[in-house]
A = this chain, B = another copy of it.
Amino acid sequence: MLPNHNTFFDELKKRSTLINDYILDERFISCFHPEDVRWAVTAYVRYGGKRLRPAILMFSCGAVGGDEKIAIPAAAAVEIFHTWTLVHDDIIDRDPLRRGQTTVHQHYHDRSLKDEDGLRLSPEEAQHYGVSVAILTGDIQHGWGISMMAELSTRFGVNPEVTLDLINELDTRVLNTLVEGEVLDIQFAHRDIETLTPEIIEDMLCKKTGALYEFCGRAGAIIGVGTRDDPRVDAVAQFTAKCGTAFQLQDDILGIIGKEESLGKPIGSDLREGKRTLVIYYAYHNANDRDKNRITSVLGNQSASDEDITKTISLLRDLGGIDNVAMRAKTMIEEACSLLDDIPASHYRDLLYQWADFLIQREF
């Protein structure tokens, strides 16, 4: 396996175009009323994003010998499914920015303060109005994603029983796992770091991020071979699950040492929010009492100064938090890649390997 990022990004770009065209088709968009809801349901898609999940689903389909074009509705569905969870998570996390632009709830909050919609609400009412519209936007996107999945059969010839199986898996097992991961993440932020272990943090990451990537691998492979009962399906699904979790580890590293423009949010956000990432765990584990106090005085402290944040980032690095997690991500990717040993060599398998390689090298 020779890492070749140019190939990977060229191929990623091609899938991204296919998926955007499918998502933004007039037969979907014309269903959304009134007009401002129509803006909201496609906003995050238009904000950008790499479409990694759809691409991985399509590559997984190709890697087991399937025609990746048939998997387009499932790939687009996963992107929209991911999008509605972002819209609702942004309300829960009270994030004003997503991909460097205004989140849905913030957008409607801002509009309703002005006279644009003839509302001119008080600050408290504007906040509630923004949340209300964002809840409904995510709900509509949720339904939209499922309807895209249905098109696997109604427009792309996939066996209807396979499609129903995928819809069922996405809307129960995957959804429940994602929500459980999200709830654990919120609860951990209120917990003493001493009570956490690398295993329970990784389990949370696997649920929060790995589960949807696992579905991408599984769905792509099932569409490719036409059934769930094939050893290649599990191999690919376990590969994408492990890579998805490693992706989140790298995300947690970048959440601490990344630059503001690539993060799309202010430096130190994760620290001020009090996120119990594996970086924090390892650094804390290696710290003496004085350093432990320095870490806990900043973690979850919304009013920590920029200087405190800069010092804490250095400290986390000095204590080996970053290196330990980077090593763990690397090991996870190696384990993941070995799972593809029995999948015949192909351009698609190479693309999956290149994705894995990108995950631990990326800086954005």
Contact = CB atoms under 8 A, between A and B. Distances in A.
Contact of A143 (B33, B138, B153, B172): B172
B140 A179 contact: yes
A145 to B, nearest CB: 8
Q: Is the contact region of chain A dominated by helix, strand, or loop, or is it mixed?
A: helix
Interface string A22-37: 0000000001111001
Given A132-B92, A146-B146, A167-B146, A172 B37 contact: no
Contacts of A183: 34, 37, 136
Given A160-B160, A164-B153, A164-B164, A175 B139 contact: yes
Interface string A166-185: 01101111011001101110
A31 B136 CA distance: 25
A179 B136 contact: yes
A37 B131 contact: no
A31 to B, nearest CB: 5
Interface in A120-157: 128, 131-132, 135-136, 138-140, 142-144, 146-147, 150, 153-154
A71 B234 CA distance: 34
A185 to B, nearest CB: 12
A13 to B, nearest CB: 29
Contacts of A306: none
Contacts of A92: 132, 135-136
Contact of A167 (B131, B150, B176): B150
Nearest to A161: B160
Contacts of A170: 143
Contacts of A118: 190
Contacts of A142: 139, 142-143, 171
Contact of A147 (B32, B153, B154, B171): B171
Given A138-B139, A139-B179, A160-B161, 9 more contacts: A33-B180, A88-B135, A135-B135, A139-B175, A140-B179, A143-B170, A147-B171, A153-B164, A154-B165
